[in-house]
Amino acid sequence: MSVVGVDFGTLNTVIAVARNRGVDVIANEVSNRATPSLVGFGPKSRYLGEPAKTQEISNLKNTVGNLKRLAGRALSDPELQIEAQYVSAPLVDINGQVGAEVTYLGKKEQFTATQLISMYLSKVKATASAELKLPVSDLVMSVPAWFTDVQRRSLMDAAEIAGLKLLRLMNDTTASALGYGITKLDLPTAEEKPRRVAFIDIGHSNYTCSIVEFRKGELTVKSTAYDRHFGGRDFDKALVDHFAAEFKEKYKIDIKSNGKAMVRVQAAAEKLKKILSANSQAPLNIESLMNDVDVASMLKREELEALVEPLLKRAAVPLEQALAEAKLKVEDIDIVELVGGCTRVPALKDTIQKFFNKPLSFTLNQDEAVARGCAFSCAILSPVFRVRDFAIHDIVNYPIEFTWEKSPDIPDEDTSLVVFNKGNVMPSTKILTFYRKNPFDLEAKYAKPDQLPGKINPWIGRFSVKGVKSDEKDDFMICKLKARLNLHGILNVEQGYYVEDVEVEEPIPEEKTEGDKKDPDVSNLNFHSPPPLVSPLVTSNEPQSKRPRLEEILLTTSKAMDAESTPKMRKVKKQVRKGELPISAGTSSLDADAKNAAAEAEAAMIMEDKLVADTEEKKNELETYIYEMRNKIDDQYADFASEAEKEKLKAKLEASEDWLYDEGEDATKAIYIAKMDEIRAVAGPIVQRYFDKVEAERAAAQAAADA
């Protein structure tokens, strides 16, 4: 079983694997350690990753980038107008989800963002599998901390469609923090002051700052703040706008009217930007950009900084917010770690350094830290690896509330409750208690829609609780629902059951249990007195490997019972679980049928791509064989064929070559194999005689040596 971590970036994707007792970033088929996050479509197959990049300029309308930013979004969302600028294929609406329209296999096709991402993840899977020489299934993938339920579910569906088992969607900065912490042997103990590290990730499209506390064996995210529209692409865009205006003036060309020219200037601008991180000025030259015009220009670092001034002015905002939300001061931060390509920009480094008033730390590989952290997380979650215990406490970024219809039997009942608050620990489970005589529904949604990206619908899911009825005495059923904000950061109501109050005798606990000590929330599990009827009782715990799971806390009695001394007993009212309450859930995840259909379609496309690749390989083999035989027949095979045989073989080679460049240009795999066999039939006896001679010489030499 494989252990894989994937940093699915807006621009590039990095894949790390656990092997040889460590974590390595792997190279793709062209030996790059980062793969363009792009998918393209052609007349015969798809182009995924590197080939999509190679084809991009000649295939703009059928190439889709910016994939991650499209996950779970609707085309009608005004924010999609920003995103559309970074996608060369036309975006379309597909039943409320954004997708792209492309020409594939000669036909116009529409694919949703989820499908496009699943295609890309198929490629990630193939890359990892080729490197590991193992089938790949389990992985942990990174996600911006600000992604909402619908965006996360889109990525999860995409992974499933690609045949991957996503063990965790991990927030980018949390992944970096894990990679940092798990390798440190000098973290403070539980009694000491924690080490506080600010992780700042500025990538191609977004900027995140998390303040994280480390103690031996655990990390706790104290706050996460972000600017969802801040990254390298904003620099690139400012540069392209600048050069577009300059070239219009200087060369009378309008690059904005020419897709290819735009992409070429974009690529040159990105290169120029990177040079300006190291040098104070840099040139930009493009030959025959459009209308046969060569362009040449120059830019100084200060000029670039002036072009992105509005952006740079916002650069300290996420830092201020993160600190404020963590209720910490600048002096409280011990270390400032930078990751993400855009943190190489000197003006940003300056701002961050001035803000924290301390030297910046680059101990993590800026481009690979997130992928490495994800691989560590996958190793922790995978049964095949043993990893040093390391607990990860992430944080809830958007408050989530439940709403329900008032029970006709409880007139003064509330009808909504914020169950997960911003800043709460994530993952986390909360038990909701309802007093009901009939089946009922509840709905989950984000409580503060204005905090969400763009116009994302705050709705998360609807949960119908079945099997609820009153007892013989027409008393309420005490219904317990387990709401979990899980490892992926998505919400589910995972389980429902009902309980009855019973009087039991139990020993009086002498000591606090381990769970009580570690987690104050657990001690709130107060089921001994009947809960008020006005609102559901919410209890919670944050399960962790070391702690008793929620079930155990509810169903077993105190640990003190193990003691040999006879404990003092007391009578208490306890709630005893009596049976299950089935729950049917409706969320934004694809239903099983849709997922299966998409997975089948994906598998068929993979087969198609493979057939095209195999056919191409056979064609290349045939071509190579023709050249090789043509050279050898007058060289090492010359003494092993009669003139007539030579003539025959040469004629066959020439005919095959003519065929290859004519009707054989676009044949099937089987035909290329057959053509190869035809040549082999003619060449075979000649090659055999040659090898017989070589073998005889070798045997003679061996005999001489042995003698």
**Which stretches of the chain bind ligand ATP, using CB under 6 A?**
9-12, 68, 203-206, 231-233, 270, 273-274, 277, 340-342, 344-345, 367
- Give the CB-nearest residue to Mg ion: 203
Choose between 301 and 430: whose C-beta lies nearer to ligand ATP: 301
The answer to whether the Cα torsion of 27, 28, 31, 34 is positive or negative is negative
Of 369, 297, 299, nearest in space to 340 by CA:
369
424 binds K ion (CB under 5 A): no
Q: Based on CB atoms, which residue is closest to Mg ion, 5 or 203? A: 203
CB of 12 to K ion, least distance (A): 5
- Select from ligand ATP, Mg ion, K ion, none the partner in contact with residue 342, using the beta carbon and a kind-dependent cut-off of 5 to 8 Å: ligand ATP
* Angle, helix 643-661 to helix 592-633, in steps of 10 degrees: 140
Return the residue of 3, 4, 7, 452 that touches K ion, per CB under 5 A: 7
The interface partner of residue 273, options being ligand ATP, Mg ion, K ion, none and the CB cut-off 5 to 8 Å by kind, is ligand ATP
- CB closer to K ion out of 9 and 72: 9
- Say if residues 143 and 11 touch (Cβ distance below 8 Å): no
Query: x-or-dash pattern for K ion, window 11-50, by CB under 5 A?
Result: -x--------------------------------------
Task: Please report, for residues 40, 64, 104, 339, 528, the alpha-carbon distance to residue 59 in angstroms, rounded to integers and kept in the order given.
Answer: 8, 10, 11, 32, 68
142 vs 558, beta carbon nearer K ion: 142
Quick one: what does residue 547 bind among ligand ATP, K ion, Mg ion, none, with the CB cut-off 5 to 8 Å set by partner type? none
Q: d(Cα 180, Cα 368) in Å, to the nearest integer?
A: 12
Contacted entry of Mg ion, K ion, ligand ATP, none for residue 234, CB cut-off 5 to 8 Å set by kind? none
Say which amino acid occupies 379.
Answer: A
Cβ-closest position to ligand ATP: 232
Which listed option, Mg ion, ligand ATP, K ion, none, makes contact with residue 40 (CB within 5 to 8 Å by class)?
Answer: none
Nearer residue to K ion within complex by CB, 66 or 587: 66
- Range 655-684, binding K ion (CB under 5 A): none
Residue 668 C-beta: closest distance to ligand ATP, Å: 39
Q: Which amino acid is at 625?
A: Y
The phi and psi torsions of 628 (rounded to 5 degrees) equal: -65, -45
CA 9, CA 273: separation in Å to the nearest integer? 19
- Residue 621's SS3 state is helix
432 vs 154, 497, 627, CA distance in Å? 27, 11, 75
End-to-end CA distance of the chain: 53
**Residue 544's binding partner, choosing from ligand ATP, K ion, Mg ion, none, with beta-carbon cut-off 5 to 8 A by kind?**
none
What minimum distance in Å lies between the beta carbon of 142 and ligand ATP? 8
Question: 259 Cβ partners below 8 Å, 6+ apart?
Answer: 60, 61, 88
Comparing CB distances to K ion, the nearer of 12 and 176 is 12
Given the structure tokens 């499908």, which residue do they identify? 115
Q: Restricting to residues 170-209, which ones interact with Mg ion according to CB under 5 A?
A: 203
CA dist list (Å): 272 to 247, 267, 297, 472: 16, 9, 11, 78
Structure tokens at 485: 């904000």
Interaction between residue 9 and Mg ion (CB under 5 A): yes
Q: Can residue 231 be called a binding residue for Mg ion (CB under 5 A)?
A: no
Residue 196 Cα distances to 177, 193, 329, 330, 336, angstroms = 11, 9, 11, 11, 9
Report whether the peptide linkage leading into residue 144 is cis, meaning its omega lies within 30 degrees of zero.
Answer: no
Q: How far is the CB of 394 from Mg ion (least distance, A)?
A: 17
Footprint of K ion on this chain (CB under 5 A)?
7, 9, 12
Footprint of Mg ion on this chain (CB under 5 A)?
9, 203
